């Protein structure tokens, strides 16, 4: 089994996970490959801004690799905002991550939770989210698209409506993912959150496959020990049922 989206208290302000304990717990659970993908944020307003230290993270992973038989990867979950694209590009130039996840945590001046509530309150469109997602993919900065339909975590209305209303641009984003040689992340944190399903939904994954997509990663997005590996087996069953393949760096 694999879990390619894990956070640690060392570099993610919202995580309680001790890295050494994570390794021990995941070994006991029978995992073969895991990745630390702590938050890397470049928006000064984000609580995670400045938390990540690449050299210390690299040293930590190299040290823990000596203590485990698992494959331990150094990843990073980077919050993408269009105005930060060049900052991110310059940052990544001299970094040697095993892989990077590009995620949307903010839309315009609002963090995603605030933005979703605002759109629902005002009857606004969700299209801007997908427009930013398309820019994320076209940037060519990342290996993986993180929690594709993350907005649904904070929704009160049916997220299927948002998907159907924006199906044309969802198709455009997925086609660009395939063109860029990127992969989608099947993020199982949605199984323990209000959506009750992974990010992205089975419908989006099925569309990805129909368009020619082949590969996905799989991660629990665990910030606490009780969530380590959560939903991975269910996520794997979904992936297999759709005929998709796991991508491991």
What's the mean pLDDT in 134-161?
A: 95
pLDDT in tens, 175-218: 999 999 999 999 999 999 988 999 999 999 999 999 999 999 99
% residues pLDDT > 90 (the chain) = 96
Asked whether residue 23 carries a pLDDT value surpassing 90, the answer given is: yes
Please check whether residue 13 is in contact with residue 48, taking contact to mean a CB–CB distance below 8 angstroms: yes
- Say which residues have a Cβ less than 8 Å from residue 159's Cβ, sequence separation at least 6: 149, 151, 152, 195, 201
Confidence (pTM): 0.96
Asked whether residue 173 carries a pLDDT value surpassing 90, the answer given is: yes
Please check whether residue 159 is in contact with residue 120, taking contact to mean a CB–CB distance below 8 angstroms: no
% residues pLDDT > 70 (the chain) = 100
Half-sphere exposure of 204 (CA within 13 A, CB side): 33
Looking at residue 158, what is its pLDDT? 87
Looking at residue 134, what is its pLDDT? 99
What's the mean pLDDT in 129-152?
A: 98
Asked whether residue 111 carries a pLDDT value surpassing 90, the answer given is: yes
Domains and CATH numbers, the chain: 2-246 (3.20.20.140)
Half-sphere exposure of 238 (CA within 13 A, CB side): 23
Cα 94 from Cα 129, distance rounded (Å): 29
Provide the token pair at 90. 């310059």
Tell me what the pLDDT averaged over the chain comes to: 97
Looking at residue 36, what is its pLDDT? 99
Pairing of strands 99-103, 71-79: parallel
> Bigger pLDDT: 156 or 128?
128
Looking at residue 184, what is its pLDDT? 98
Looking at residue 157, what is its pLDDT? 83
Please check whether residue 141 is in contact with residue 88, taking contact to mean a CB–CB distance below 8 angstroms: yes
Residue 167 exposed, middle or buried by CB count within 10 Å (0-12, 13-18, 19+): middle
Q: Other CB atoms closer than 10 Å to residue 14's CB: what's the count?
A: 12
Asked whether residue 96 carries a pLDDT value surpassing 90, the answer given is: yes
What's the mean pLDDT in 225-239?
A: 98
Looking at residue 132, what is its pLDDT? 98
């Amino acid at each position: 089994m694999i879990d390619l989206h894990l956070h640690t208290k060392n570099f993610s302000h919202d995580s309680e996970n001790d890295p050494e304990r994570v390794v021990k717990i995941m070994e006991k659970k029978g995992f073969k490959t895991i990745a630390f993908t702590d938050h890397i944020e470049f928006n000064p307003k984000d609580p995670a801004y400045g938390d990540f230290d690449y050299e210390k993270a690299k040293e930590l992973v190299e040290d823990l690799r000596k203590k485990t038989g698992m494959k331990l990867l150094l990843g990073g979950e980077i919050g993408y905002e269009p105005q930060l694209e060049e900052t991110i590009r310059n940052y990544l130039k001299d970094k040697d991550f095993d892989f990077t996840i590009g995620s949307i945590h903010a839309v315009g001046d609002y963090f995603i939770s605030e933005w979703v509530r605002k759109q629902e309150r005002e009857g606004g469109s969700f299209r801007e989210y997908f427009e930013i997602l398309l820019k994320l993919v076209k940037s060519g900065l990342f290996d993986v698209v993180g929690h594709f339909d993350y907005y649904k975590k904070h929704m009160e209305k049916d997220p299927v409506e948002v998907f159907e209303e924006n199906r044309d641009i969802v198709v455009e984003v997925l086609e660009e993912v395939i063109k860029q040689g990127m992969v989608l992340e099947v993020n199982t944190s949605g199984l323990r959150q209000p959506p009750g399903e992974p990010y992205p939904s089975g419908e989006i994954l099925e569309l990805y496959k129909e368009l020619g997509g082949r590969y996905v990663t799989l991660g629990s997005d665990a910030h606490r020990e009780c969530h380590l590996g959560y939903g991975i087996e269910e996520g794997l069953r979904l992936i297999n049922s759709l005929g998709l393949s796991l991508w491991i760096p």
